[in-house]
Amino acid sequence: MDLPSRQALEAFWMPFTANRQFKASPRLLARAEGMYYWSADGRRMLDAAAGLWCVNAGHNRREITEAVAQQLATLDYAPTFQMGHPLAFELANRLIEVTPGDLNRVFFVNSGSEAVDTALKIALAYHRVRDEASRQRLIGREKAYHGVGFGGTSVGGIVNNRKFFGPLLPGVDHLRHTLDHERNAFSRGLPEWGAHLADDLERLIALHDASTIAAVIVEPVQGSAGVILPPKGYLQRLREICDRHGILLIFDEVITGFGRLGASFAAQYFDVTPDIITAAKGLTNGAVPMGAVFVRQRIYDAFMQGPENAIELFHGYTYSAHPVACAAARAALDIYQRDGLLTRAASLEKEWEQAVHSLRDAPHVIDIRNIGLIGAIELQPRPNAPTARAYEAFTRCFERGVLVRVTGDTIALSPPLIIEREQIDEIIATLGEVLRTLE
């Protein structure tokens, strides 16, 4: 494949990318299949990041391709405002078979960012329809990533994602994060120390009063900040506090949904049922943009009051439950269930843990974290050059044929759930080689 010129690269303003750096030395992916990408110059790349946490069943699955093609030839688009199409209802019913508890109502969106903003709006509106309109405050967490909508950015806690965009939404506060290198470095699985950090919510309740708080939103596993894990008992404690004070608990499962931890959702892995779950990414195996918000039945029922001809929730998107996305999601769900991928990470978790932690003594490594089929290798930042060392590790892995993800000074790993043991070995061996080359 002919590589584009530097000028041809300029028209695309790339997201979350150092555009000038990339366009001076582009990394272009041309095709993909199974566990691999191929670069535009023909080199094979082992995908250790499932694209962007989304290609859980591996790339270019024939079943999804055929389902999308057939749907495009049958019904390319249908509105879901005051109308519908059968596949949307079929998919919703399929999905609630794998959600925890009574999270049995589904609102379809197009991305994780839209899912989060939708969940926040549902939470605010829920309290209003129950005559608790004073509950308008939203609580996020430091180092959190909840997409890039104004709502998600507001409850998010990553500095660079927030600082350029002004005050964002009013009435938002943040819990402390749970990353503690001093006490929990190199924990295998969930850290022992830190469940009490959930009590930070009690502090915010004392400050603002529970009657003003609508919802708390957390990622069960924080991804974009570098794979930050909840301490043992932390999420259970959050659930108890929210229950005690009538606050909705939202789990942002955009990265943990559909098998990443060895269960359909992290809520089942941790045995904590939130009131709302946001999902995307793995919903269609990354093939077509789609997201979803799952809500408990009592939340849905609270809206189903008043005249039957009245719209209950004034919210939605032109492409909500797009037929082609529904077809892709149904096919992806078929694969997950047929091939046992929703639980496969559980059978590989210990071997994955052992492999990732084998890098403990590699140069520059200051922490390793793991859960399910997720791993993080955090590097000591270079003096006066934060993120530079990890970025160099990323580019050198790419040169050696392994695609990883870097966030800050952390190398994040989240391979497709179809990974085999020899591919785990290849990822770890390549990372070890690269770490030994870094200054």
> How does DSSP assign 109-123, residue by residue?
ESSHHHHHHHHHHHH
User: Which pLDDT tens digit goes with each residue over 123-152?
Assistant: 999 999 999 999 999 999 999 999 999 999
Can you name the residues that pair with 137 across neighbouring β-strands? 213
Q: Which of 222, 280, 336 is nearest to 51 (CA)?
A: 280
Which residue type occupies 167?
P
At 178, list the tokens.
């749970």
What pLDDT does residue 277 have? 99
Q: How far apart are CA 140 and CA 175, in angstroms?
A: 6
Q: Last residue of some domain: 317, 338, 359?
A: 338
Q: Last residue of some domain: 338, 359, 389?
A: 338
Q: Which of 337, 372, 368 is nearest to 352 (CA)?
A: 372
User: Which pLDDT tens digit goes with each residue over 355-382?
Assistant: 999 999 999 999 999 999 999 999 999 9
Same domain (yes/no): 316, 414 = no
Q: How far apart are CA 409 and CA 393, in angstroms?
A: 10
Percent of the chain at pLDDT > 70 equals: 100
What pLDDT does residue 4 have? 86
Same domain (yes/no): 331, 348 = no
pTM, two decimal places: 0.98
Q: Which of 218, 240, 206 is nearest to 138 (CA)?
A: 218
User: Which pLDDT tens digit goes with each residue over 200-254?
Assistant: 999 999 999 999 999 999 999 999 999 999 999 999 999 999 999 999 999 999 9
Same domain (yes/no): 376, 255 = no
Query: Is residue 32 domain-resident?
Result: yes
Residue-averaged pLDDT of the chain: 97
Query: Is residue 124 domain-resident?
Result: yes
- CA 411 from chain centre, in angstroms, equals 16
Q: How far is CA 163 from CA 156, 166, 168, 232, in A?
A: 11, 7, 9, 32
User: Which pLDDT tens digit goes with each residue over 190-204?
Assistant: 999 999 999 999 999
Same domain (yes/no): 360, 283 = no
Query: Is residue 299 domain-resident?
Result: yes
Same domain (yes/no): 359, 274 = no
User: Which pLDDT tens digit goes with each residue over 36-56?
Assistant: 999 999 999 999 999 999 999
* Three-state DSSP class for residue 229: coil
Query: Is residue 375 domain-resident?
Result: yes
Helices (H), 195-274: 200-208, 234-245, 266-270
Contact at 8 Å (CB) between 355 and 428? yes
Same domain (yes/no): 377, 284 = no
Q: Which of 363, 299, 365, 353 is nearest to 188 (CA)?
A: 353
Q: How far apart are CA 234 and CA 325, in angstroms?
A: 35
CATH number, domain containing residue 122: 3.40.640.10
Q: Which of 296, 327, 250, 332 is nearest to 68 (CA)?
A: 327
User: Within 10 A of 349 (CB to CB), how many other CB atoms are there?
Assistant: 18
Number of structural domains found in the chain: 2
Query: Is residue 282 domain-resident?
Result: yes
Q: How far apart are CA 41 and CA 30, in angstroms?
A: 8
Which residue type occupies 150?
F
Residue 337 has pLDDT above 80, yes or no: yes
Same domain (yes/no): 271, 317 = yes
Same domain (yes/no): 165, 24 = no
Question: Degrees (nearest 5) of the Cα angle 29, 32, 38?
Answer: 45
Q: Last residue of some domain: 295, 316, 338?
A: 338
What pLDDT does residue 3 have? 75
Question: What's 164's DSSP letter?
Answer: T
Q: Which residue reads 């929210």 in tokens? A: 242
Q: Where are the beta strands (DSSP E) in 228-317?
A: 248-252, 276-279, 291-295
Which residue type occupies 241?
I
Same domain (yes/no): 333, 351 = no
Q: How far apart are CA 326 and CA 339, in angstroms?
A: 20
Average pLDDT over residues 389-405: 98
Can you name the residues that pair with 33 across neighbouring β-strands? 36
Residue 1 has pLDDT above 70, yes or no: no
Residue 281 has pLDDT above 70, yes or no: yes
At 335, list the tokens.
């694969």
Average pLDDT over residues 88-117: 98
Same domain (yes/no): 330, 350 = no
Please give the backbone phi and psi of residue 414, each rounded to the nearest 5 degrees, phi first.
-155, 70
Query: Is residue 1 domain-resident?
Result: no
Q: How far is CA 347 from CA 50, 231, 419, in A?
A: 18, 22, 12
Same domain (yes/no): 222, 233 = yes
CATH number, domain containing residue 375: 3.90.1150.10
The continuous run of DSSP H or E covering 55 comes out as none
Domain housing 75: 65-338
String of DSSP letters for 408-420: TTEEEE---TT--
In a 10 Å sphere around its CB, with 0-12 CB exposed, 13-18 middle and 19+ buried, how is residue 193 labelled? middle
String of DSSP letters for 339-398: TTHHHHHHHHHHHHHHHHHTTTTSTTEEEEEEETTEEEEEEPPBTTBTTHHHHHHHHHHH
Same domain (yes/no): 330, 354 = no
* Three-state DSSP class for residue 277: strand
Contact at 8 Å (CB) between 171 and 136? yes
